[in-house]
Structure 1
Amino acid sequence: MKHLYALVLMALLGASSFCCYAQAPAPLVSGNFQDLSVEAFARRIEAQTPYRFFFDSVAVRGVRLTVQAQGQPLASVLQQALGPTALRFAIDEEHNVFLTAGAAVPTALPDGYFQGAPGAPGAPGAVASSAPATGPGAPAATARGTDAPARLYEIGPASAAGTGRATLAGHIREAKSGEPVLGAAVYVVSPAIGATTDQFGYYSLTLPVGPHVLNIRGIGIKNTQRRIVLRADGQLDVEVAEDITALKEVLVEAEKDKNVAGMQMGLERLDIKTLRQVPTAFGEIDVLRVVMLLPGVKTIGEGSTGISVRGGATDQNLILFNDATIYNPSHLFGFFSAFNSDLLKSVELYKSAIPARYGGRISSVLDIATRDGNNKQFAGTGGIGLLTSHLTLEGPLAKGKSSFIIGGRTSYSDWLLHTLPSQALRQSAASFYDVSAHITHQFNANNTVYATGYLSHDRFKLAADTAYAYDNRAASLKWKHIFGNKLYGVLTGTASQYQYRITNDKIPVNASALTFGIGQVGLQADFSYFHNATHTVEFGGSTLRYRTAPGTLAPLGSASLILPDALAHEQAQESALYVSDQLNLTPRLAVYLGLRYSLYQALGPRDVAQYAPGEPPSPGGARDTLHYGAGAAVATYHGPEYRVSVRYALADNASVKASYNRTRQYISQLSNTATVSPTDIWKLSDAYIRPQVGDQVALGYYHNFKHNTIETSVETYYKAVHDFVDYKSGASLLLNHHLETDLVNAEGKAYGVELSIKKITGKINGWLSYTYARSLVRVNPGTPAERINGGNYYPSNFDKPHDVTLVGNYRFSRRFSTSLNFNYSTGRPITLPLATYVIGGAERVYYSDRNAYRVPDFYRVDFALNIEGGHKVKRLARSSWTVSVYNLTGRKNPYSVYFKSVDGKISGYQLSLFGQPIPSVTYNFKF
């Protein structure tokens, strides 16, 4: 009965099609087409007929067509024109023309489909599964197995067959592990409609009902096709195989033009393969070290993971780990990053055109996401180095439904310190550990929960004197709910905490402990609505609760004479709503419009000093004190944040993009040192310290060459920063009960140009970039006493005008490859003592203008040799060795420059952390 119904239905559809064609005969073509490119030929035909052409511009490149026609059907004209070429054509009933190389694409159901045995593996036209229902409760068909490409997938019940459009949605996952595939292109050729999977592997396509060939392409996966019949809204999950041939550097067609065709500018994406190729100190794969090699990103100093993005301060970067904020992303004062690369799935750095869903920082967003873990089988990875080791385990909790991944790292560097000739170093100790865990559970096709936990601990003690210890903790819990094929939402709760403790017990009477802490909890709701292939809307809201313990000093031991001191705790609330709309107005023109509105309130209990009207806050200048009770609003700030981007495609391989961003930052990191230190403190905006506001405009040109295997780009930007927090000369930041007396709100500006060229495939690949950038600050308040450098602009601590970076990889064979980094940059600014003078019998030091001089220029060369184990697909475990040399030339790059007075004479000194080549050997394994 089912087959009889289908036959009757097809007969009616065929009759209606016949009637339509009888009423409207196929258009005829006339003209003299002489030596035309395929693009020009198609435009001529489209101008005189209702036909629309679809083809791959790379496949038709170089093809010239010549033909004469006078009132002939298009099929006849194409047979004559394409005869001498390798191109084939297909025309469907909607006057769509598909030109392909080799074989014509099918435009209708295959012959014998209804006569085949339904469900027979491998049989032509076999129906693998269907999703007959619509709406959020519809079950998802899953395309898996070796015979999946030969099957036909029915989406929606046969009774729903008709005309119009329907929405197909689902997930793309790796067949071996069940991991979602990020950034895969999911598309159909006729009509040309496509989408890209998000971080959950989710896609949504609105297509005409009827037969389609669904194409899936992406990095690290095999090109995949699924034949479908779309009758109504439904879901189709597709499992794709890992691309083992990626060892041969096969180019992924779906990814190669994102540099040009993508809407986003100022975005840098790093995959795990890139991270593992770049040589780093002590052989440890380091996310932040690789980020520092990107255009527009600069290191603050050797051995520091504080980064400056487009001239911004280190605290102006929002660092997220599965949506939870990480306040200190480093271990051992910056020698190692805080993230275990074995767990990572994606690393994205937004330098401009920051999406509206992000807020809280004015320079950049570094969004780091972990893998979900293998939900099919147990697996593990690990590595053993000279100073550190790491191990990661993953596997299913409920096969196909739940998975876990957990990884840990630890260091054992004390043995190395104990072998050094210096007695002070032999008495030192340094170590760290971190643990990351992630669990995923899918309740059903529409509800999935993700839980992440992270903790780290560092300790460092130099010569039995001062001991440093600091901890990071972060957690996130997500619930993803699919409301329908066009709408899904994610509800996220996060918690983050950072604290440090500095103890000094060498001299009992001065023994003390200094502590600081900051924490936040937040809730965020994000929704994505896929109206159609050219129109996507995102909206949502968030709220954060901050709480800081700005500093506590306590005596250690009964003999200590240190007096206890503690700053009052601070708390604040930051909330925001946002909406964004991405529209492809034409095939060449696309726009992104976003608006975020944020509200911040500093909350009591708090005592606020009152100073004389019109006078700046000064020590001893308080006239009164106002007390605010618990929960009372001490200060309120709010305002809009605009996000606008435009992309115009000049050609298939060239585009121009422009963007404007306004961002607001309500929390600042205070430090009177250029390099990031564990003693830096975070300060909430209050009645005197206003939030930072950043405005950035950017313009970029992007051009790909040689079939998109070489990417080039030029981006220029200008950024203005209002109420940047700077400090007065001689400021005291630790345990200062009235910080407003030592801080000033400054104005900043940064501008520059970034040039980049990337070769993304082949035995030789990598990138070369040059950045010219300036970062300037001006402190020009109403009173001359507070002005710095006479109220003129001066270089910020992050002003390094010239930067050149080369990252190159060469693969000798499948097993052997080498990597080399070169980095040069201008030395950072510094303030120097120029002379001494005597006033009232006391000797004083006369300093230069703020940041008037520079430390020596920075350059470094790193080298690594990677040796892979055998590449047999079926083997119990795989292993590899990495032999690397960090700072190959032994350059003594300055970590800090300081001055001492010895016998009445002031002398300058330079501290270099890596003053000689550092070799390392690391053994990695995977099972």
Structure 2
Amino acid sequence: MKILLPFFILFSFVLFSRNACAQTTPEKKITMRLDSARFNDFVKQVESQTGYYFYYDASKFDSLTLDLDVKDLAIRDVLDQVFKGSEFEYSIDVQKRIYITQGQKIITQLIPGLFEPDLAGDNGTIAYAGPENDAKEKLLSTAESKLHEIGIKKHRITPGNSTITGYVRNAVTGEPVIGAAVFITSPSIGVTTDALGLYALTIPRGKQIVRIKSTGMRETQRQVMLYSDGKLDIEMRESVIALKEVSVKAGMDKNVVGTQMGTVKLTIKNLKQVPTVFGETDLLRTVLTLPGIKSVGENSTGLNVRGGSTDQNLIQYNDAVIYNPSHLFGFFSAFNPDVLKDVELYKSTIPAKFGGRLASVLDISSRDGNKKKFVASGGIGLITGRLTLEGPLVKDKTSFLLGGRSTYSSWLIKTLDNENYNKSSASFYDVNLHISHEINEKNSLFLTGYISDDRFRLYGDTLYTYQNQLASLKWKHTFNNRLYSVFTAAHTKYQYAMGAAGLPLNSFDLKFDINQSNFKADLSYVLHPKHTLDFGLSTIYYKLHPGSFQPKGPESLIVPDELEPEQGTESAIYIEDKFEVNPRLSITAGIRYSYYQYLGPRNVNTYVPGLPIEYIYQNGVKEYGSGKKIKSYGGPEYRASIRYSVFDNLSLKVSYNTLRQYIHLLTNTMTVSPTDIWKLSDNYVKPQIGDQISVGLYRNFRGNKVEVSLEGYYKNIQNFLDYKGGDSLIMNHNIEAAVLNTKAKAYGIEFMIKKMTGKLNGWLGYTYARTLLRAIDRESPDAPNDGNYYPSNYDKPHDFTLISNYRFSHRFSMSFNFTYSTGRPYTPPIGKYMIDGSQRVYYADRNQFRIPDYYRTDVSLNIEGNHRIKKLAHSSWTLAVYNVLGRKNPTSVYFQTVGGKVNGYQLSIFGQPIPTITYNFRF
């Protein structure tokens, strides 16, 4: 009886459907007028006039109002008018039931042709080609129910595998869906889409159901009849919530099943959940909440990743390197949140295609822009404002994205109760432009431009300016169903200037700039669905102008000075093999070989052989002509990682990396400064070489909704650069004599628990980490701490962060952030003495003291606009309080001599709560 019951229900449904269609009666017309009425009032009037009944989730419509004036219209015409341009869909069945859903249309009748004769041929499968999508809807349900025939149709399907390739795109905007899982369940085979939304799935020929999942998108599927290699593009809709609350998250098991470790992917949604200073969504400050990532101070966006210095991070925006990722000396990041798509951070297993930095890679991608319609969005806060425009240049083929951001913060500085501050000013702006163009199915072009400018005038005297400029052109080409490529050309320029005009006799201009041009080719060859080979090459040309010091005006007595330019090339080739041996064991192994040349023209200082590199031992200069090789370095860089699944929800991972770095940031300040000096490797400044081994355990709970990870690492760095005490780095013609080659070791443990679904979500992270340095020449008089190990400037052993978000309703949500860390080390003066009538200061051992520990609490409240369907713009308000407890966290410690006595002082940047309010809009 139980077996017959489903067939009975199905037969009754079909019979009733046909009878109902045969007995259709004329539909009643609707006449009504509503002014700012609640949706529930509209429903009652329709039900009373027509006999139809509505089924919907009332919580979605509690704040929705509508205006309506109709006369003698059919029910479908009224509903079309009500829901036009909204995210809601309606469906009507034969029993006069109206279902209202969000983003997804419910199928209320059986698929046409379900009981038609077999059209497939030998294999006995049902071949169904559903109704054509009409111009009005193009419903996703049609694409799901249709049988897609792929390849060259044959009378009989031969055994074996074929490859389906295509793009997964957002159905509303036309943008690629990155990291979407495309798979079949029997047998279990799957792949993920790349940064352009491209996938290549090799599966057995015949009838298959291909499923597609992605974070924040509704799960979809395609029925395919696979004859041979072919193409299938897929569109997905965003976060659908139908009659029941459903949330589909793809890749939630990647924490366990992925081979890479120490990799974090953040979406713009993650970034906007973290309360930040001045109410501006900040990419880098969000990254700083992750385990293993620190900053030396509150006013610095320089990243210290697993014991690395700030220059050991490769930060790139659409494949172009950015050298200074901050605005206003670290108070804001340089990235407009409205143009970003996602961010991927590699700190442990760094893919072989990346090189040139030791600590991490921060790969930032922008959105492509809406290919369907024109959209404007932006935000207005107390200190900054932003505006983004996007839309199609050629519908469904070419789109643009233009974003601008600026600050009007000078008014805030002038309100400070200090006469000197009243003469100060600060401002910045940045502009992003991105154009994407799909030439055909196998070729796409992407053009990106970015420029930023910062100006800060202190006390009306000294003006600091610095700019980032970058451009990149990317060509994505598909050779065939197995071989894919991305070719990229990019150029980056970073420059700073400092000008003092207070006293005409001492006025000056100081300038520095760095130019980098690079080309790279990245290719992927799919040997097998579970076996991929990545390979490619890259080359970089560097040109640095280390400094120009010039008098400002004819009255200035400043002596002109200019350092010689530096130039060099860095080239590399790589190959990396990704292989899933079996469901429990995956291996990734690769090698990258890099080669660097330091080139002329250049006059190179020479020193007395066998003696330390000191100013007093310089014995001459050696001249090199243009393009002549002065010095070269190179060597292999090994990458390997293994994942072993102990259970389905528990895995063990091990990775090993070797990396080389040929460009260095020289600084003798605690925080990152725009006036820090970049230096290429040369005869005396050797490339840094880092080796890192990591081990991690990963466990998921509650159906992959909760992720837990525990990672440990040990890192060894050769030729780590530190500074010698008392030496100046600016306009130094013997810069090699001012730096100290050290050996560094870093080790630590990172713990993280993350829940990204449900009303309450967020993450908790704890890090214990140490970074210790020791001079290579331990006998040198310049060796700190008598040649023994000493903490680095950013050595902060304990770090704890809690990020939590709670959604009260669809309109109201709240975020909470708590951060604690050990105070950073510093070196205080402990005495003074006289030498030849001159007073000298005696310092303690380097970095043997620490400033007080740091902790801070932030909260924010996000209020979405009402859910009225027809309105000019969708808007939201963000109210935030940074440092709710008003903790005076010391940023630095300094000392002054008063009355012959040395006194210590602490400087706090944000020593009180900072409330902010931001209005966000989208047309």
TM-score (norm 1): 0.85
Matched letter for residue 544 of structure 2: T
For 1:518 and 1:607, how far apart are their aligned partners in 2?
Answer: 19
The structure-2 alpha-carbon separation of the partners of 1:810 and 1:611, relative to structure 1 and needing over 3 Å to count, comes to same
The structure-2 alpha-carbon separation of the partners of 1:257 and 1:191, relative to structure 1 and needing over 3 Å to count, comes to same
Q: Which residue of 2 aligns with 1:909?
A: 905
Q: Which residue of 1 aligns with 2:855?
A: 859
Q: Which residue of 2 aligns with 1:666?
A: 662
Q: Which residue of 1 aligns with 2:470?
A: 474
Q: Give CA-to-partner distance per residue, 1:693-746, whole Å, 9 cap, x none.
A: 000000000011111111111000000000001111112101000111111211
Q: Which residue of 2 aligns with 1:756?
A: 752
C-alpha root-mean-square deviation of aligned residues, in Å?
2.0
Residue number among 740, 744, 758 corresponding to 1:744 in the alignment: 740
Q: Report the Cα offset of residue 378 of structure 1.
A: 0.6
* 2:154 paired with 1:154: no
Q: Give CA-to-partner distance per residue, 1:483-519, whole Å, 9 cap, x none.
A: 0111110110010010000011111110001001001
In 1, are the aligned partners of 2:180 and 2:192 still within 8 Å (CA)? yes
The structure-2 alpha-carbon separation of the partners of 1:919 and 1:248, relative to structure 1 and needing over 3 Å to count, comes to farther
Query: How is 1:720-869 mapped onto 2 (pairs within 5 angstroms)?
Result: 720-781=716-777, 783-869=779-865
Name whichever of 396-405 and 723-732 sits farther off: 723-732
In 2, are the aligned partners of 1:535 and 1:581 still within 8 Å (CA)? yes
Q: Which residue of 2 aligns with 1:66?
A: none
Matched letter for residue 275 of structure 2: P
The structure-2 alpha-carbon separation of the partners of 1:875 and 1:242, relative to structure 1 and needing over 3 Å to count, comes to farther
Q: Report the Cα offset of residue 569 of structure 1.
A: 0.3
Q: Which residue of 2 aligns with 1:24?
A: none
Q: Report the Cα offset of residue 909 of structure 1.
A: 2.1
List alignment gaps of at least 5 residues for structure 1: 1-108, 131-142
For 1:245 and 1:887, how far apart are their aligned partners in 2?
Answer: 36
Query: How is 1:529-544 mapped onto 2 (pairs within 5 angstroms)?
Result: 529-544=525-540
Q: Which residue of 1 aligns with 2:16?
A: none
The structure-2 alpha-carbon separation of the partners of 1:144 and 1:595, relative to structure 1 and needing over 3 Å to count, comes to farther
Q: Which residue of 1 aligns with 2:499?
A: 503
Q: Which residue of 1 aligns with 2:200?
A: 204
Q: Report the Cα offset of residue 877 of structure 1.
A: 2.3
Q: Which residue of 2 aligns with 1:411?
A: 407
* 2:381 paired with 1:389: no
Q: Which residue of 1 aligns with 2:256?
A: 260
Q: Give CA-to-partner distance per residue, 1:241-295, whole Å, 9 cap, x none.
A: 1124399984435322111111110011111111111100110000001000000
Residue number among 690, 700, 703 corresponding to 1:704 in the alignment: 700
For 1:288 and 1:447, how far apart are their aligned partners in 2?
Answer: 33
Q: Which residue of 1 aligns with 2:58?
A: none
Q: Give CA-to-partner distance per residue, 1:530-579, whole Å, 9 cap, x none.
A: 22221011000000000000000000111110000000000000000000
In 1, are the aligned partners of 2:811 and 2:864 still within 8 Å (CA)? yes
Q: Which residue of 2 aligns with 1:622?
A: 618
In 1, are the aligned partners of 2:445 and 2:476 still within 8 Å (CA)? yes
For 1:899 and 1:603, how far apart are their aligned partners in 2?
Answer: 44
Q: Which residue of 1 aligns with 2:89?
A: none
Matched letter for residue 769 of structure 1: G
SS at 1:148 equivalent: helix
Q: Give CA-to-partner distance per residue, 1:606-633, whole Å, 9 cap, x none.
A: 1112212111211131223211110011
For 1:478 and 1:378, how far apart are their aligned partners in 2?
Answer: 24
For 1:273 and 1:766, how far apart are their aligned partners in 2?
Answer: 12
Name whichever of 620-629 and 639-648 sits farther off: 620-629
Matched letter for residue 484 of structure 1: N
In 1, are the aligned partners of 2:778 and 2:788 still within 8 Å (CA)? no
Residue number among 361, 380, 394 corresponding to 1:365 in the alignment: 361
Q: Which residue of 2 aligns with 1:453?
A: 449
Matched letter for residue 152 of structure 2: P
For 1:179 and 1:917, how far apart are their aligned partners in 2?
Answer: 40
Residue number among 304, 308, 314 corresponding to 1:308 in the alignment: 304
SS at 1:159 equivalent: coil
For 2:535 and 2:870, how far apart are their aligned partners in 1?
Answer: 46
The structure-2 alpha-carbon separation of the partners of 1:466 and 1:798, relative to structure 1 and needing over 3 Å to count, comes to same
Q: Which residue of 2 aligns with 1:282?
A: 278
TM-score (norm 2): 0.85
Matched letter for residue 558 of structure 2: I
The structure-2 alpha-carbon separation of the partners of 1:158 and 1:876, relative to structure 1 and needing over 3 Å to count, comes to farther
Q: Which residue of 1 aligns with 2:96?
A: none
Residue number among 233, 241, 257 corresponding to 2:237 in the alignment: 241
Q: Report the Cα offset of residue 893 of structure 1.
A: 1.5
In 2, are the aligned partners of 1:604 and 1:630 still within 8 Å (CA)? yes
The structure-2 alpha-carbon separation of the partners of 1:779 and 1:532, relative to structure 1 and needing over 3 Å to count, comes to same
Q: Which residue of 2 aligns with 1:380?
A: 376
Q: Report the Cα offset of residue 129 of structure 1.
A: 12
SS at 2:259 equivalent: coil
Q: Which residue of 2 aligns with 1:884?
A: 880
Matched letter for residue 922 of structure 2: K
In 2, are the aligned partners of 1:249 and 1:761 still within 8 Å (CA)? no
SS at 2:471 equivalent: strand
Matched letter for residue 863 of structure 2: I
Residue number among 512, 519, 531 corresponding to 2:515 in the alignment: 519
For 1:312 and 1:624, how far apart are their aligned partners in 2?
Answer: 35
Name whichever of 594-603 and 411-420 sits farther off: 411-420
Q: Which residue of 2 aligns with 1:225?
A: 221
The structure-2 alpha-carbon separation of the partners of 1:430 and 1:253, relative to structure 1 and needing over 3 Å to count, comes to closer
In 1, are the aligned partners of 2:778 and 2:786 still within 8 Å (CA)? no
Q: Which residue of 1 aligns with 2:609?
A: 613
Matched letter for residue 781 of structure 1: D
Q: Which residue of 1 aligns with 2:561?
A: 565
For 1:536 and 1:715, how far apart are their aligned partners in 2?
Answer: 26
Q: Report the Cα offset of residue 756 of structure 1.
A: 0.8
SS at 1:288 equivalent: helix
SS at 2:877 equivalent: strand
SS at 2:420 equivalent: helix
SS at 1:620 equivalent: helix
The structure-2 alpha-carbon separation of the partners of 1:247 and 1:719, relative to structure 1 and needing over 3 Å to count, comes to farther
For 2:626 and 2:545, how far apart are their aligned partners in 1?
Answer: 16
SS at 1:460 equivalent: strand
The structure-2 alpha-carbon separation of the partners of 1:373 and 1:253, relative to structure 1 and needing over 3 Å to count, comes to closer
SS at 1:520 equivalent: strand
SS at 1:158 equivalent: coil
Structure 1 stretches of 4+ moved >3 Å: 109-118, 123-130, 143-146, 246-251, 871-876
The structure-2 alpha-carbon separation of the partners of 1:872 and 1:714, relative to structure 1 and needing over 3 Å to count, comes to farther
Matched letter for residue 731 of structure 1: D
In 2, are the aligned partners of 1:346 and 1:370 still within 8 Å (CA)? yes
For 1:373 and 1:320, how far apart are their aligned partners in 2?
Answer: 19
Residue number among 631, 636, 652 corresponding to 1:656 in the alignment: 652
SS at 1:585 equivalent: strand
Q: Which residue of 2 aligns with 1:8?
A: none
For 1:147 and 1:247, how far apart are their aligned partners in 2?
Answer: 20
The structure-2 alpha-carbon separation of the partners of 1:817 and 1:828, relative to structure 1 and needing over 3 Å to count, comes to same
Q: Give CA-to-partner distance per residue, 1:823-865, whole Å, 9 cap, x none.
A: 1101111011001122233222110011111111111111101
Matched letter for residue 560 of structure 1: S
Q: Report the Cα offset of residue 591 of structure 1.
A: 0.4
List alignment gaps of at least 5 residues for structure 2: 1-110, 133-137
Identity of aligned residues (%): 55
Matched letter for residue 751 of structure 1: Y
Query: How is 1:674-693 mapped onto 2 (pairs within 5 angstroms)?
Result: 674-693=670-689
Matched letter for residue 153 of structure 2: A
In 1, are the aligned partners of 2:661 and 2:689 still within 8 Å (CA)? yes
In 2, are the aligned partners of 1:113 and 1:126 still within 8 Å (CA)? no
For 1:233 and 1:667, how far apart are their aligned partners in 2?
Answer: 46
In 2, are the aligned partners of 1:385 and 1:923 still within 8 Å (CA)? yes
Query: How is 1:160-175 mapped onto 2 (pairs within 5 angstroms)?
Result: 161-175=157-171
